[in-house]
Amino acid sequence: MPTSANAVNIDPVRTAVRFPLHLEIVLKTPDREYVAVTEDVSANGVLFCADELPAVGERVEFKLMMPSTIMGGAEDVALHCKGRIVRHIPEKKMAAAVIDEYSLKAEHA
């Protein structure tokens, strides 16, 4: 059992398998919307690029349209997400959002 001297800190945002998906998304905060493109997507969050970034700690809602080819079904799947911004990479105009809640819905083409 880890003690404070040898405890391991594992960041759940960075331990999930990441998929290099470039999907357009609109992130909604209580005050405004941000248009972005994902760099990668995991079960725990997304890394995205945008001209303007929500502040670290800001709560966001967004929808990812997951292609049927990735989801293994006949239809695209809309992934409705609620989360928060956890970090910025300012020199690349990128930010990461952790996904706290999500729901799935098949979308007819």
pLDDT, tens digit (0-9, with 9 covering 90-100), for 12-43: 445 688 889 999 999 999 999 999 999 999 98
Spatial CA neighbour of 83 closest among 67, 95, 65: 95
Q: Is residue 6 part of a domain?
A: no
**pLDDT > 50? residue 7:** no
**pLDDT > 80? residue 58:** yes
For 66, the domain range is 13-107
Q: Is residue 7 part of a domain?
A: no
> For residues 2 and 101, which has the higher predicted lDDT (pLDDT)?
101
Q: Is residue 25 part of a domain?
A: yes
The average pLDDT across 73-78 equals 86
In the prediction, which pLDDT does 71 show?
75
Q: Domain holding 72: CATH number?
A: 2.40.10.220
Give the whole-angstrom CA distance, residue 101 versus residue 4: 31
- Number of domains present in the structure of the chain: 1
The average pLDDT across 79-107 equals 94
The answer to whether the CB of 27 falls within 8 A of the CB of 97 is: yes
For the entire predicted model, the pTM comes to 0.78
Q: Is residue 27 part of a domain?
A: yes
